Structure 1
Amino acid sequence: MCGTSPAGTIPARDPLREVRVSLTVRDGRFAATLDRGDYYQTSYLIKKGTDGTLRAHGIEWFRDRLGELLGWDRTATDAIRSWDDVKLLEVTRGRLDRWYQKGLLCIGDAAHIMSPIGGVGVNLAVQDAVAAARLLAGPLRESAVTSRDLARVQKRRRLPTAFTQKSQLAEHEMLLRPGLDGTLRADRLPVPLRAVQHVPALRSVAGYLGGIGIRPERAPEFARR
């Protein structure tokens, strides 16, 4: 479930002004808030299939629940005027067995549906496009693109896609599921999370894998200015 709140309605002392993204987990409630500059975009995570139950409550109930979790007063939560301001995003994950056929190549979301975890879907989509441009530029110039050429793009991008989806699944099981079950505790975080917290080098590695991936793509020389 996602909603927005104008940044100006949140007190300047709010810690959300000090970071770009903030995660809040308590008592089976889980929210992620992103600072968009002039407003905050908030994702309120729920278990699959429970949207209708939550919406059966009045919007006042949701405002109070969100405000209590994030420490926001009514000047912030009143920006959520009705349930129409709260959109449901169904999270799923998957990829095509075959990304191409004669005259067609699927990349990005058309080839692999990513979870919003880490916000890496756009990274993969751009990298797919760069790889496709590099591998297909020559055949396109000669008007002779074959299925074998298209298969080279899938072969190039299949491993990083599978790796990222596996990583997202691990994050879901390690962080999101226990957060929603109410079993995630700050003093008993899973070992990988504790290691990332305490070892700076691991934070760098995690950031690189999340932001760049295991097979970064670079534009060919002819496409660079």
Structure 2
Amino acid sequence: MMLGLLLARAGVEVIVLEKHDDFFRDFRGDTIHPSTIDLIDQLGLRHRFDGIPQSHIHTLDVVVNGNRLTPIDFGSLRGPNRSIALMPQWDFLNLLANEASRYPTFRLLMGTEATSVRYGPADAAGQRPVIGVTAHTHHQAVEITADLTVAADGRDSDVRRSAGLVPVDYGVGIDVLWFRLPKLGSPPPDTLGYLNAESMVITIPRSDYYQSGMLIPKGAYPQIQAEGLDAFRARIVRAAPFLAPAVGAVHSWDQVKLLSVQVNRLPTWWVPGLLCIGDAAHAMSPAFGVGVNYAIQDAVAAARILAPPLRAASVAPEHLAAVQQRRLPPVRRMQPIQIQLHTVIAKPGGGGFLRNPMPWWQRIPVALALPVIRRVAARVVGRGFRPERLDGELLHPYRRRE
């Protein structure tokens, strides 16, 4: 959606396909990081953005085996945006879609699912370029022809699969069970997660509830279900005792959604006529909630590089390669951090490395390390390794020459 908006502003004819009839679904990636809010400011959408109900996180606390730590403080960032906004993703998508609809070159087709790519005649090298997609509505199949097809359909991308592109998996040994728990009584300070020697429970604060998650060993969900809901609720409380009055709200496994955590990356994000971005190119783990924001950075880089050749109907493989060359380095730096985090700390039982209470030989290193970690982590999480900015023609809507 961001790429569609930016290309339409740049005078490129765009069709965005959304397989659902609306955006009103329970996303988990509802964190809008400072790097994305900076772009909202540049687009002149801040007034409308601020009008959407939201909350803000200025620091991220974790409770490790009963010890409350603050490893991230966004107040140390430079610039006006120094917090994470928690906003329903459907509201954010509607904001972008409504802004994009102002441009005559933008079309959004809801209830239209791209299922496979279409190929043109072979070129001189015998390679058949992608020339669009076959899509399905509720009533019929449709064929769409395009100079460039962009796969932004997630980690299980049908478009990517139909083009024969296979990501390399880097093997994260956890899954996440997502569920909602109400806020009751006097909640503690906003806390990203609670870790003990058995479990890790995520508590993303919303207005009147927690978007909660439990990290489990990969493939362990059937065993947890077999143990029963009472055992599941007890496991939550052992990691986060303050949730004891709230866990009764989970009274059915239908309220628990399994996310199979993946960290993977395509060796090559493109073939002639097709580019993959976001999770379709590089699935991120839920660690730090950066996946949506890295996808948006991909979109900005792609729009800046591709808008001129798209207007001239002259997109070549070197343009698609330039997008990957621009965005691969930050992805390649963030994914190993996520993998290492899941290997050492953010995993079931990862909180057991700190004692409660901490002895002096743990307190002193933690006290010395945290101030440095706060500043570095705020930059890495809040803005990423290569935050993109709008410049040149992306800053101002393109005016066609008569």
For the aligned pair, the TM-score class normalised by the smaller chain equals 0.7 to 0.9
Change (3 A) 1:119 1:205: same
CA distance in 1, matches of 2:250, 2:199: 18
SS in 2 for 1:78: helix
Q: CA offset at residue 26 of structure 1? A: 1.8
1:146 aligns to 2:302 (yes or no): no
Q: Which of residues 205, 216, 220 is equivalent to 2:387?
A: 216
Q: Which of residues 344, 351, 355 is equivalent to 1:174?
A: 344
1:5 aligns to 2:181 (yes or no): yes
User: Which ranges of structure 1 fall in alignment gaps of 5 or more residues?
Assistant: none
Task: Determine if contact 2:263/2:285 at 8 Å carries over to the other structure.
Answer: yes
CA distance in 2, matches of 1:195, 1:145: 52
Task: Determine if contact 1:93/1:113 at 8 Å carries over to the other structure.
Answer: yes
Change (3 A) 1:108 1:63: same
Look up the equivalent residue of 1:222 and give its one-letter code.
Answer: E
Q: How does 1:1-225 map to 2 (within 5 A)?
A: 1-7=177-183, 10-12=184-186, 14-15=187-188, 18-19=189-190, 21-72=191-242, 75-177=245-347, 180=349, 183-186=352-355, 187=358, 196-197=369-370, 199=371, 201-224=372-395
Change (3 A) 1:192 1:112: farther
Identical pairs, percent: 39
Task: Determine if contact 1:99/1:111 at 8 Å carries over to the other structure.
Answer: yes
Relative to the length of structure 1, the TM-score reads: 0.87
CA distance in 2, matches of 1:134, 1:25: 42
Task: Determine if contact 1:123/1:211 at 8 Å carries over to the other structure.
Answer: no
CA distance in 1, matches of 2:395, 2:247: 47
CA distance in 2, matches of 1:217, 1:128: 8
Q: CA offset at residue 100 of structure 1? A: 0.7
Segment drifting more, 146-155 vs 21-30 = 21-30
Change (3 A) 1:182 1:127: closer
Segment drifting more, 155-164 vs 203-212 = 203-212
Change (3 A) 1:78 1:27: same
SS in 1 for 2:259: coil
Between Structure 1 and Structure 2, how many residues are aligned? 215
Task: Determine if contact 1:22/1:34 at 8 Å carries over to the other structure.
Answer: yes
User: Which ranges of structure 2 fall in alignment gaps of 5 or more residues?
Assistant: 1-176, 397-402
Relative to the length of structure 2, the TM-score reads: 0.50
Query: With CA pairs under 8 Å and 6+ residues apart, which has the higher RCO, 1 or 2?
Result: 2
SS in 2 for 1:112: coil
